[in-house]
Amino acid sequence: MGSVTIAMGGHEEAARASASREPEHPEDAVRSLPAAGSLGRWRPSRAAGLTFLIGLLVTGVLVLTSLAVYNRSERRLLNLRVRELSLVLAATAPSIQTPLASAAELANATGGSAQKFQTFMSPFVGPGRQFSSVSLWPLGTSHLAPSAVLGKTPALASMPERARQFFTHSTRPGVLNLTGFLNPTHPALGFDFSAAGRVHGFAVYAEKPLPANRRSKLEKNSAFSELNYALYLGHSKRTSDVLVTSVKRLPIKGRQASDVVPFGGGVFTVVVSPNSSLGGTFFQSLPWIIAVLGVLMSMVAAVMTDRLARRRVHAEQLAGALDRVASENRRMYTQQRSIAQTLQHALLPDVLPQFAGLQVSARYVSAASGIDVGGDWYDIVDAGDGQLLLLIGDVSGHGLSAATTMASVRHAALAYAAQECRPATVLAKLSNFVGGSAHSYLATVLCALIDVDAHRLVVASAGHLPPLLISGEEGHFVEFEVGVAIGVAARSQYQETTIDVAPDTTFVAFTDGLVERRGEVLDTGLARLRDAATSQKLTLDELVAKLARELTSEDHRDDTAIVGVRWQN
Amino acid sequence: MAELDPDRPGELVIDTELKPAGEILLTLSGELDLSTVGALEATIASITAKDPERLIFDLSGLRFMDSAGIAVLVDTARKLPVQLRDPSPIIRRVVELTGLSDVLPIQS
């Protein structure tokens, strides 16, 4: 007995060993992954390159936009500044015109008194004062010459033709008239004022020296210190007409704005350009800041995209590997299931023996899924003398181990049946065979001795469900004393129950897969079986087929064996 | 790892409680079948190492038990006294119909 147990254990070990070999292939599949950690030479992924390009593009657009905004605001500010400058310049005209106009009025009133003129004008003339030279010119004479001179000799006095031209044609009475002496040696600006409405009045003429090189920088704290400028006489922007400028070389280059400054009767033209950003250095450097930040962020985004892309590739590879593992598992699972099924079906009788006066039919339904091929079996043995022995059993557990255990229990039962036809004895011997030692399986076995001619049944059960007897439209389960299942304890005793049956009686033995449902008392399943078996008159084959079809649910987890026997009269 | 939930199909929760007088109470909830029986076997193996006087299986929360589950209970009953407490009618009927009422006595 002990050796048998060891043999069974051996089967289980073999099953375990085969199970422990399973993971080898999956591991191989995982190992065959390209090692994602060692990248070797780093090469950016396409997505990373694309991200970088897009980043650069966006940065470029932002830089251009901010440049455009900056330029527009600079232009606007520059236009404002040149307008302001022009207004400030224009506002200085009265400070020049007023003393000249007053002197002209005085000259007219005093008949051109040189003394009064000099007395009046002396505070305005001299080094560091407003004018370098002031002179009084009587108009309407054929020979134009100053009648009084204060300060330097006016440049105009040495140019009679120009003086004549100036006073007779270029000037207008009542307004401040301008003329420039822009030769490089002693450049000066001349101002003229004569009172309006007098034909032979006096003109007051003043000169203001210009810097020899025309350069005059604005003071640092001046309101216009951020501007380069050039002031031209008249509407001209020619370098030869420049009065004063802050730059070394004319014309002014770059961004610039100009305005015409009305000054008395004449005009100046002022041209300015910024020597620094008018809107502040931040706005000037904003496009650069955007450019640098944009490039940096593009690089960061590219690196992150690259990482994500790599992770995805890795995940895809991993998924692929898992797929291979899964399909390998499926293959092995199918293989193992098919091994177990093959084994089990090989163990079931191919052809049931035929008996005169008795029909026999059997079905085996495998569990819907899993390698959990059950340990169900059945046998019908000719016991001689018109008797046959029916055995049906169920070894607990599933799979190869259950199938092999079933095989040994079944063959032992067949051997005992060959020696002894009493069902109780067969079961008792089986219980001794399996014993009560340490193993974790049970076998429920039903053993029925069928006497065909005597219409008699002798039944014994080792923990097995009661068989169904159908007579006409009536069906009932055999009531008997259930013994313990095989494997609970050695030397178990079993009770036989003898039943006399009517002609045409059908006897259906089955395993629990036919009636057992989760969440349901067994009696409910038994009643369902009885109702299905008695609902209509069928041939035995039809009946067994119907039960196998209708009572094994789609998700049945257990195998099911059904054996039917019908007396033909 | 998700928490075991005895209400989910196909799961078994085992609760072990040491009682005075050498008893150990094993409360089983969920389903005891071929797929969950391994956990019970492992638990029982560690318990029997403590050499208790008796094992009591509280089956009030057990909804289903198949022959593999019964086999483990019977195997345990071979080693030390076992009692079933409060089995549902479903479980009770399984024990009765397999002729195991004596091997796996139900506590009254």
Instruction: Give the Cβ contact number of residue A531 at 10 Å.
Output: 10
Burial class of residue A2 (count of CB atoms within 10 Å of its CB; 0-12, 13-18, 19+): exposed
Tell how strand A474-477 and strand A387-398 pair up: unpaired
Please give the pLDDT value at position A60. 92
A371 — contact with chain B (CB < 8 Å)?
no
Please give the pLDDT value at position A29. 43
Over residues A90-99, the pLDDT tens digits come to 888 888 888 9
Q: What percent of chain A has pLDDT over 90?
A: 24
Please give the pLDDT value at position A420. 81
Residue B32, min C-alpha distance to chain A (Å) = 11
Give me the residue from A442, A512, A520 closest to B74, CB to CB. Answer: A442
Average pLDDT over residues A411-429: 89
Over residues A239-270, the pLDDT tens digits come to 888 888 888 887 888 888 889 998 888 889 99
Over residues A54-92, the pLDDT tens digits come to 999 999 999 999 999 988 998 998 999 899 888 988 888
Strands (E), A222-312: 227-233, 242-245, 257-263, 266-274
A463-488 in b/e burial notation, b at 16+ Cβ within 10 A? bbbbbbbbbeeebebbebebbbbbbb
| Average pLDDT per 10 consecutive residues for chain B, totaling 108 residues | 64 88 90 87 88 91 86 86 91 87 86
Q: Does the structure show a pLDDT above 50 at A35?
A: no
A-chain residue closest to B32, CA distance: A518
C-alpha distance across the termini of chain B, in Å: 38
**C-alpha atoms less than 13 angstroms from C-alpha of A286 in its C-beta half-sphere:** 16
Strands (E), A307-440: 358-365, 374-384, 387-398
Range of lowest pLDDT (A3-17, A138-152, B21-35): A3-17
The string of DSSP codes covering A18-70 is: HHHHTTHHHHHHHHTS--SS---S----HHHHHHHHHHHHHHHHHHHHHHHHH
Report CA dihedral (A100, A101, A103, A106) to the nearest 10 degrees.
170
Q: Does residue A215 sit in helix, strand or coil?
A: strand
Q: Does residue A196 sit in helix, strand or coil?
A: coil
If one compares A397 and A116, the residue with the highest pLDDT of the two is: A116
Contact call for A489 and B103, based on CB within 8 A: yes
Q: Does the structure show a pLDDT above 70 at A110?
A: yes
| CA angle (A106, A111, A113) in 5-degree steps | 70
If one compares A70 and A221, the residue with the highest pLDDT of the two is: A70
Interatomic CA distance for residues B37 and B66, integer angstroms: 9
A-chain residue closest to B31, CA distance: A518
B63 — contact with chain A (CB < 8 Å)?
yes
Chain A stretch 314-353, residues whose beta carbon is closer than 8 A to a beta carbon of chain B = none
> Phi and psi of B81, rounded to 5°?
-60, 135
Contact call for A484 and B75, based on CB within 8 A: no
Average pLDDT over residues A478-495: 88
Please give the pLDDT value at position A547. 92
Nearest one of A548, A541, A542 to A562, comparing CA atoms: A548
Q: What is the mean pLDDT of chain A?
A: 82
Contact call for A397 and B96, based on CB within 8 A: no
Q: pTM, whole model, 2 decimals?
A: 0.52
Order across the sheet with B54-65: list the strands: B12-18, B23-32, B54-65, B82-85
Residue appearing with tokens 């004596």: B102
A74 — contact with chain B (CB < 8 Å)?
no
Range of lowest pLDDT (A23-27, A306-310, A510-514, B101-105): A23-27
| CA angle (B7, B62, B59) in 5-degree steps | 140
Over residues A183-219, the pLDDT tens digits come to 767 788 888 888 877 667 888 999 888 887 777 776 6
Interatomic CA distance for residues A137 and A114, integer angstroms: 10
The pairs formed by B13-20 with CB atoms below 8 angstroms and a separation of 24 or more are B13/B61, B14/B39, B14/B40, B14/B43, B16/B43, B16/B47, B19/B56
H/E stretch holding A483 reads strand A482-483
Q: Does residue A424 sit in helix, strand or coil?
A: helix
Q: Does the structure show a pLDDT above 80 at A408?
A: yes
| ipTM confidence score | 0.83
Range of lowest pLDDT (A107-111, A394-398, B74-78): A394-398
Q: Does the structure show a pLDDT above 90 at A10?
A: no
If one compares A228 and A184, the residue with the highest pLDDT of the two is: A228
Confidence band of A546 (pLDDT split at 50, 70, 90): very high
Contact call for B67 and A442, based on CB within 8 A: yes
Give me the residue from A441, A512, A519 closest to B71, CB to CB. Answer: A441
Token output for A4:
């048998």
- Sign of the Cα torsion B40, B41, B42, B44 reads positive
Contact call for A463 and B98, based on CB within 8 A: yes
CB–CB contacts below 8 A, A to B: 83
Contact list, B76 vs chain A (CB under 8 Å): none
Interatomic CA distance for residues A498 and A473, integer angstroms: 22
Q: Does the structure show a pLDDT above 70 at A490?
A: yes
Alpha helices by DSSP H, listed for A166-280, are none
CA-based radius of gyration for chain A: 62
